[in-house]
Amino acid sequence: MPPDGHKSHLNNLQVRPEAWRRLENIYSLANFGLEEIITAWIDVYLPEASLGLDDRDEDTGETLSIPCPGTDFDIAYQEERRPSDINRLAPWIDNLALMTVQRIIHLLHPNTHVWSFSLVEERDLDRKILRSYLWTVPEYVMEGLAEDDRKSIQYSSVIVAFQPPWVLSKQDIKEFANCRAFPPFRKPGNAFPTPLNSTHRIWAKIFDMCVAKNTPWFVLTSYTHWTFGMFSTGWTAAFISGVYEYSASSPTIAECLTFWIASAMRIARVLQYPKVCEEPPSSQTPSTVYDAMAQSPEAALALALLDQNTAA
């Protein structure tokens, strides 16, 4: 493992500059009370008392799997093998954080029972150092939907990308979350495209994954550290949280992830900003308020808080 403050220098993702990659600006959510928003939403919508339901769903096998010492919830500790590669890291992500959040969402909103996290199986050049889970509905459900309904499902889906902590070190994920601009593509000619640095390669990879699935919502984690983000409607801007350690509290990782999934599905509407004009052609800038953060992040997030207060 790299020492604190050092990058791993192992994050050699196979991506290069591309003309179609439209990302330009990246805005931080860390300084706009995101933790307070998450905690307030959790306090209002997640009950403190038991719902009188089992932790485990016997039909699906999903269960609340993160122990809660000092509470009335008796959740057994699940011991996972020490991961030596990305395939052995996957159960840590799935069987702890993802399964718990999936069970929470299903308990709170039973009509979401068809939604789940599934490991994305694709022949990707980088699959030895980066893989992902996708929160979505099964393919057989998608196949029976009209095009507009399919797009709605995609827009409500969430990609959870993960890398081993010896590849995505604390410093790597901090630099990812602190990045504020993505370099423009330069056509070959007098000046050749500048190779992407490791931070920009991660952003490029996440961007490509989200565009391929047509979902703006994403999470990046090494299990030991987590960050939560989304892209604008026109894919020209991104918004990213700070970096949270696996042992974070107020909010916890489970609370952050539950809120992020709920936001993508419009269960939590705190981050669902209203349209301010007609949707422009794809060649123009996006038109939602969180796209307008490129002009005024403070105003856009103030509208989000206003929307939260109005809904309360």
The domain spans of the chain are: 25-272
Are 233 and 216 in contact by the 8 Å Cβ rule? The answer is yes
Q: Which residues contact 257 (CB under 8 A, 6 or more apart)?
A: 97, 98, 101, 219, 226, 228
Q: Which amino acid, one-letter code, is at 275?
A: K
The Cα-based distances of 188 to 17, 50, 134, 161, 191 in angstroms read 11, 61, 35, 31, 6
Helix (H, G, I), strand (E, B) or coil at 226: strand
Q: Would you state the structure tokens that stand for residue 57, as one six-digit string?
A: 């769903």
Residue 160: name the closest of 96, 113, 104, 111 by CA.
96
pLDDT of the residue at 49: 64
Burial profile 232-260: b = 16 or more Cβ within 10 angstroms, e = fewer = bbbbbbbbbbbbbebebeebbbbbbbbbb
Q: What angle do CA 15, 21, 25 make, to 5 degrees?
A: 110
Relative to beta strand 25-28, strand 131-136 is: unpaired
Cα separation of 108 and 129, whole Å? Answer: 34
Ramachandran quadrant class, 6 (left: phi over 0; alpha: psi -120 to 50; beta: rest): beta
What residue type is 162 in one-letter code? F
Residue 268 confidence (pLDDT): 77
In the prediction, which pLDDT does 95 show?
Answer: 85
Q: Show pLDDT as tens, one digit a residue, over the chain (312 residues).
A: 766 776 888 999 999 999 899 999 999 987 778 899 999 988 888 767 665 655 556 667 576 656 565 555 555 566 667 889 999 999 999 988 998 899 889 888 999 999 999 999 988 999 999 999 999 999 999 998 999 999 999 999 999 999 999 999 999 999 999 999 999 988 776 566 678 999 999 999 999 999 999 999 999 999 999 999 999 988 999 999 999 999 999 899 999 999 999 999 988 766 544 332 333 344 433 333 344 444 444 544 544 444 444 444
Residue-level pLDDT at 98? 94
The angle at the Cα of 218, spanning 213 to 222, to the nearest 5 degrees, equals 120
